[in-house]
Amino acid sequence: MKRYAKYTKLATLSLVISMLPTLAACSDNGNSNSNSSNNGATANNNQAAVSNAPAANNSAKPTEMWKQKFDPPITITSAVVDDGASRGNAFKPGESMENNAMLKWMKDNMGIDVKYDFIVTKSEDYDTKMRLLLSSGGKLPDVFGTSGDILQSMLAANKLMPLDDAIEKYAHPEYKKMLEKFSYAMGEVKKDGHIYGIPAFFMGDEGTVMWVRKDWLDNLGLKAPTTLAEFQEVIKQFTENDPDKNGKNDTVGLAVPLKEGPWTWMGQTDAIVGALTDQMINTYDVRSFWNKGADGKLSYGAIHPDAKKYLETMKDWMSKGYIDKEAGIKDPMKTSELVASGKAGVIFGPFWMGDWPLSDASKVDPKADFEPFPLPAGPDGKFGRAEKPITAGFTVFNKDFKNIEAWFAYFNKMFAKGLEQEGDPYYDTRWQNGFLEGYDYVTVDGKVVKADFKENGVPEDKWPLKDGSKMDMRFMTTNILAGGVTTVPFSNDEPVKKFLADPNAEALTSREVDVKAMKRKQIEAAGVRINQGITEGKNYFTGPVTPTMKSKGQLLQKLATEAYLKIIYGEKPIEYFDEFVKEWLANGGQKITDEVNDWYAKNQ
């Protein structure tokens, strides 16, 4: 459905583009409050001057930055996708994205007035709207989230504000440290040495673990595999020896989606690759994986000779039937159905699979028990996995935006709330118990209750929602943090260790509350991931799509996924790999390699 919508977008776009002159006329006289005509390249402007002036009552002491309040109030415009349906308990009745308690709180306590230039129901519409604003020269929102080709178009058109000075001046010190640590992941928003976007970071905890049917292992008297050889034995037994004891030859060892190649978001085989080589392989996107060689140059993993080891292994397993025969036509969702139906014994994937989809297997067979195990080691004792991109999205700023320090005031407050550090000058003590009383927490007789209001004896008239359920504050609080609320990567690790050691330990911070709320299997899997201590294989290319990637990337992706599958299915001999590499390089691959290395030389 979504794909189809994207397709029709082309038609819509061509239609709308032809009407641009009229649209441009409408949006030109937008509500830009540009009372001064400076270029706004830095945050050094009249409003900032006000906030720094000693007499102004919006200045806060450096030790109490959380008290920052802007007077007169500052209006910040943004844009958001809100389908109104999938957000669950985001608002109380009568509230909306544009009118809710958080926005009111910000207006009253921070002097920030949030307005939305537009609210659309689908992300496709959001992209279209941005493209239109871009091509019609209309006024972009002050703050918004973007990525991909729209981001690059905006950079090329000089519509965005460079943020180096603002980050230096206003950003939370801990966040600054993170930006430095993960600067390799920000290629997309860098241009001419300047940073143009504030990244929201992922937790970075989705590294692959191995999920195996423990009950099948027990049935066959096997141990969890620790090496690739043992792994092969296990999937062999799972395929041939009727591990579910139903008397039918209807099981398969390894469930894996190969429609998108070795790397995808669930069921991926990066662990098999990692056991055989240091290379990381993705055939489905020419932007990854670019591995760093001994000479300091980047090379594309999928064409590295080591990939043959992976292909030979997979081909061998496929020919013997240890792998789902239909892997080549399945995407991760389809593969997860095979696992959930109790027909496959092993699947790789992130820690969260312990809940969905793997817990579904026990609906078919109550004894079904998927357990997380460390990744098996290869013949040389190697093991490894690939790293998912660490950034979730970028918040960018209209180059004419004047009040970036107000945005940072809110950003820092939210960030400090996530950190929950004593003595942090940005940590707002008013948010100690939660964001808003009567929303994400209530107090009864001096006791703070955050969930299960009924069980905790909260009188019904104090429940945030009539049915007594919890509110989901993410939608209300994200507002001007358009690229998403950032987490601190890997900050889950310590809480996971804590609850692994003692499942009943008391959750002290909100991070710990989140971790404790996870399913036991998920915590165990997260523990397996952390304890195996693997340095995840990075994609060293994080820059914008290069010109040749744009024109030839599609062809190369098709070439690579097709070649990999043909070899794995035995339709082509393994020698075909060399032919494929030659073809890949000749059809733009060599040029892309040069472009990538040029980028890397400039940006490493």
* 250 contacts other proteins (rule: CB under 8 A): yes
- Cα 601 from Cα 604, distance rounded (Å): 6
* 565 contacts other proteins (rule: CB under 8 A): yes
* 587 contacts other proteins (rule: CB under 8 A): yes
**Contact status, residue 189 vs residue 396, Cβ threshold 8 Å:** yes
Q: Cβ closer to other proteins: 33 or 554?
A: 554
Q: Residue 545's CB: how many other CB atoms inside 10 A?
A: 16
Instruction: Choose the stretch contacting other proteins; rule: CB under 8 A; options: 51-59, 63-71, 347-355, 564-572.
Output: 564-572
Q: Report the nearest approach of other proteins to the CB of residue 6 (Å).
A: 5
Q: Cβ closer to other proteins: 136 or 479?
A: 136
Using CB under 8 A, count the residues that bind other proteins.
55
Among 28, 149, 578, 598, binds other proteins (CB under 8 A): 149
Q: Cβ closer to other proteins: 571 or 578?
A: 571
Buried b (16+ CB within 10 A) or exposed e, 105-118: bbeeebbbbbebbb
Q: Cβ closer to other proteins: 17 or 517?
A: 17
First to last CA, the chain: 40
Q: Report the nearest approach of other proteins to the CB of residue 219 (Å).
A: 21
- Cα 82 from Cα 125, distance rounded (Å): 11
**Contact status, residue 13 vs residue 131, Cβ threshold 8 Å:** yes
Can you name the residues that pair with 201 across neighbouring β-strands? 391
Task: At 40, list the tokens.
Answer: 């706004």
Instruction: Choose the stretch contacting other proteins; rule: CB under 8 A; options: 237-245, 393-401, 511-519, 557-565.
Output: 557-565
* 307 contacts other proteins (rule: CB under 8 A): no
* 579 contacts other proteins (rule: CB under 8 A): no
* 324 contacts other proteins (rule: CB under 8 A): yes
Can you name the residues that pair with 396 across neighbouring β-strands? 144, 197
Instruction: Choose the stretch contacting other proteins; rule: CB under 8 A; options: 251-259, 367-375, 449-457, 573-581.
Output: 251-259
Residues 6+ apart with CB under 8 A from 192: none
Task: At 456, list the tokens.
Answer: 């905790």
* 367 contacts other proteins (rule: CB under 8 A): no
* 118 contacts other proteins (rule: CB under 8 A): no
Q: Report the nearest approach of other proteins to the CB of residue 264 (Å).
A: 13
Q: Cβ closer to other proteins: 6 or 104?
A: 6
Task: At 370, list the tokens.
Answer: 């998927």
Calculate helix-pair angle for 520-532, 493-501, nearest 10 degrees: 120
Among 90, 103, 171, 252, binds other proteins (CB under 8 A): 252
How would you write 184-209 as a 3-class SS string? HHHHHHEECCEECEEEEECCCCCCCE
Task: At 8, list the tokens.
Answer: 């029709």
Task: At 414, list the tokens.
Answer: 């939210």
> Prior bond to 72 cis, omega within 30?
yes
Question: x-or-dash pattern for other proteins, window 335-364, by CB under 8 A?
Answer: --------x---------------------
Among 27, 89, 109, 135, binds other proteins (CB under 8 A): 135
**Contact status, residue 358 vs residue 370, Cβ threshold 8 Å:** yes
Residues of this chain that interact with other proteins (CB under 8 A) are: 1, 3-4, 6-7, 9-11, 13-15, 17-20, 131, 134-136, 148-150, 153-154, 156-157, 159, 250, 252, 258-259, 261, 324-326, 328-330, 334, 343, 545, 550-551, 553-555, 557-558, 561-562, 564-566, 569, 587
